[in-house]
Amino acid sequence: MGFFSKLFKTKERRINAQKYKIGMSKTRDSIFGNVKELLETKSLDSDDLFDELEEIFIMADVGVNTTVKFVDQLRKNIKTKKITSSDLLMELIIEEMYTMYVKDDIAVNEINIEDNRINVLLFVGVNGVGKTTTIGKVANELIQQGKKVMLVAGDTFRAGAIEQLRIWSERVNSEFYCNEEGSDPSSVMFDAIKYAKEHDIDVLLCDTAGRLQNKKNLMNELDKINRVINREIEGAPHETLLVVDATTGQNGLSQAKIFNEVTTITGIVLTKLDGTAKGGIVLAIREEMGIPIKYVGLGEKLEDLERFDFEEYLFGMFGDVI
Amino acid sequence: MAFDNLSDRLQMSLRRVTGRGRLTEKDIEEMMREVRLSLLEADVNFKVVKSFTKNVKEQAMGEKILKGLNPGQQVVKIVSDELQRIMGDKAEPLTINAIGITKMMMVGLQGAGKTTTAGKLALHLRKQNNLKPLLVALDVYRPAAIEQLKTIGSQIGVDVFEMGTKEKPLNIMKQAMEFAVSNGNNLVIVDTAGRLQIDEDMMNELVEIKNYLKPEEVLLTVDSMTGQDAVNVAEGFNNTLGVTGAILTKLDGDTRGGAALSLKEVTNISIKLMGMGEKLDQLEVFHPERMASRILGMGDVMTLVDKVTDNIDEDDMMGMVEKMMSGKFNYNDYVKQLKMIKRMGSLGGIMKLIPGMGKMMKGVDVDDKKTVYAEAMISSMTKKERKNPKLISQSSTRRRRVAAGSGRTVTEVNRLIQQIDQMTATFKRMQGMDPEQMANMNPMTMMNQSQPKKKSGTKKKRWRY
Over 60: is that where the pLDDT of A5 sits? Answer: no
Of A104, A262, A119, which Cα lies nearest the Cα of A196?
A119
Task: Put residue A80 in one of left, alpha, beta given phi > 0 → left and psi -120 to 50 → alpha.
Answer: alpha
pLDDT at B441 over 60: no
Nearest CA to B119 out of B187, B167, B210 is that of B187
DSSP string, B257-322: -THHHHHHHHH-PPEEEEE-SSSTT-EEE--HHHHHHHHTTS--HHHHHHHHHHH--HHHHHHHHH
Instruction: Work out the minimum CA distance from B254 to partner chain A, whole angstroms.
Output: 6
Distance separating alpha carbons of residues B456 and B454, to the nearest angstrom: 6
What number is the average pLDDT over the span B446-452?
Answer: 37
Ranking B83-92, B288-297, B300-309, B360-369 by mean pLDDT, the lowest is B300-309
Q: Decide: residue B157, CB within 10 A, 0-12 exposed, 13-18 middle, 19+ buried.
A: exposed
Name the pairing type of β-strands B217-223 and B102-107.
Answer: parallel
In this prediction the ipTM stands at 0.85
> Is the Cβ pair B196, A59 closer than 8 Å?
no
Contacts of A272 in chain B (CB under 8 A): 109-111, 196
Backbone angles phi, psi at A240, to 5 degrees: -120, 110
Residues 6 or more apart whose CB falls under 8 angstroms from that of B450 comprise B422, B425, B426, B429
Predicted pLDDT at A124: 97
Nearest to B295 by CA among B116, B76, B26: B76
Question: In b/e form, how buried is each residue of B437-464, taking b as 16+ CB within 10 angstroms?
Answer: eeeeeeebebbeebeeeeeeeeeeebbe
Strands across the sheet containing A293-297:
A175-177, A149-152, A203-206, A119-124, A239-245, A267-271, A293-297, A305-307
Higher-confidence residue: B319 or B459?
Answer: B319
CA distance A220 to A206: 17
Which residues neighbour A220 within 8 Å (Cβ) at sequence distance 6 or greater? none
If pLDDT is split at 50, 70 and 90, which confidence band does B14 have? low
Would you state the pLDDT for residue A100?
A: 83
Supply φ then ψ for residue A320, to 5 degrees: -85, -15
Q: Distance (Å) from the C-alpha of residue A10 to the closest C-alpha of chain B?
A: 32
Side-chain-side CA neighbours of residue B246 (13 Å): 31
**Average pLDDT, stretch B48-70?**
73
Lowest-pLDDT choice from A26-40, B5-19, B38-52: B5-19
* Best of A123, A211, A212, A283 to mutate (most B CBs within 10 Å, chain B): A212
The Cα B117–Cα B191 span in angstroms is 9
Question: Taking CB atoms and an 8 Å cutoff, what residues of chain A touch B230?
Answer: 247, 249
- List the domains of chain B with CATH numbers: 4-87 (1.20.120.140), 102-297 (3.40.50.300), 304-462 (1.10.260.30)
pLDDT at B5: 45
Closest residue of B to A68, CA-based? B37
Question: What is the C-alpha separation between B116 and A154, in angstroms, rounded?
Answer: 19
Q: Which residue in A has a C-alpha nearest to residue B38's C-alpha?
A: A64
Is residue B372 pLDDT above 50, yes or no? yes
Q: Do B40 and A168 touch (CB under 8 A)?
A: no
Q: How far apart are CA B79 and CA B48, in angstroms?
A: 13
Pairs of CB atoms within 8 A across A/B: 143
Q: What is the dihedral of CA A35, A38, A42, A44, to 10 degrees?
A: 0
**Residue, of B366 and A91, whose pLDDT is higher:** A91
Highest mean pLDDT among A15-24, A86-95, B299-308: A86-95
- Cβ–Cβ gap B110/A130 under 8 Å: yes
Closest CA to B109 of A251, A29, A161, A128: A128
Residue B10 has what pLDDT? 55
pLDDT of residue B178: 97
Query: Could you tell me the pLDDT band of residue B388, with boundaries at 50, 70 and 90?
Result: confident
Is residue B299 within 8 A of residue B360, CB to CB? The reply is no
pLDDT digits (tens, 9 = 90+) for A139-157: 999 999 999 999 999 999 9
Helix (H, G, I), strand (E, B) or coil at B205: helix
Residues ≥6 apart with Cβ < 8 Å to A253: A63, A281, A284, A285, A288, A289
Do B427 and B325 form a contact (C-beta atoms < 8 A)?
yes
CA distance B237 to chain A (A): 13
pLDDT over 90, % of chain B: 38
The amino acid occupying position A43 is S
Single-letter residue type at B245: G
- Beta strand segments in A85-217, E: 119-124, 149-152, 175-177, 203-206
Q: Which residues of B touch A168 (CB under 8 A)?
A: 143
When mean pLDDT is compared over B117-126, B316-325, B365-374, B383-392, the highest value belongs to B117-126
Handedness of CA B433, B437, B442, B445 (dihedral sign): negative
Torsion of CA A279, A283, A289, A291, to 10 degrees: 70
